Structure 1
Amino acid sequence: MKRITSLLFLGILIAIVAAGCSSKLNDQSWKLDKKHSPLPDFVLNTSEKIQETYVMAATYPEVVAQVPCYCGCVNDGHKSNLDCFIKGMGPENAVEEWDSHGIA
């Protein structure tokens, strides 16, 4: 009986934690930091997911830079996936120019 009660309690606890975590992920609102250039029209005219991806690339450039380029633009000088989204960065990793290859 004690084992069943413990398992039931553990199951309820896992369900509560999972529900709390999933709602935080779904409510995540990606906002572009003011230090970056605004998203250009070629990004704003796409889906919300693509816009969020551009904002994530600007927010976490050190992570995106670890992902190999997938857009087939190695001949254009792309060294990582970051180059597919951002053409130029300034001080404090502020995006100065966006790249359209991340849309493809």
Structure 2
Amino acid sequence: MIFSLEFILPVLIVTVFVGVLLPILFRNKEKVDKGRALVYYKLSYRRKMIRTLTTIPLLIIIILAASYLADLDTVEILLFSSVFVVMTIIQFFYNYFKWKKLERE
């Protein structure tokens, strides 16, 4: 089964490690506002906001694929989808307000 402890534990460790390490590594570095940057933490808040908008089609594909592959019922699909949508909206507005705040300074 894909949701076994042998699968979840390494994924969780890598996710936490990267989620803690990368923001620290890129904290005081020059942020990219033009051009390409693979690492999310290298981007300025404006570019993070744009990346959030451009990942919406990928989000839709992930939601559809996960609901199909996991054979979820309607309530589970709605719950799963609403969590992703709310997280994306929060991320967008957080980056927007941080961008505007930095623009004023």
Alignment TM-score > 0.5, same fold: no
Greater relative contact order (CA < 8 Å, ≥ 6 in sequence): 2
Structure (1/2) with the larger strand percentage = 1
Range of TM-score over shorter length: 0.3 to 0.5
TM-score (norm 1): 0.34
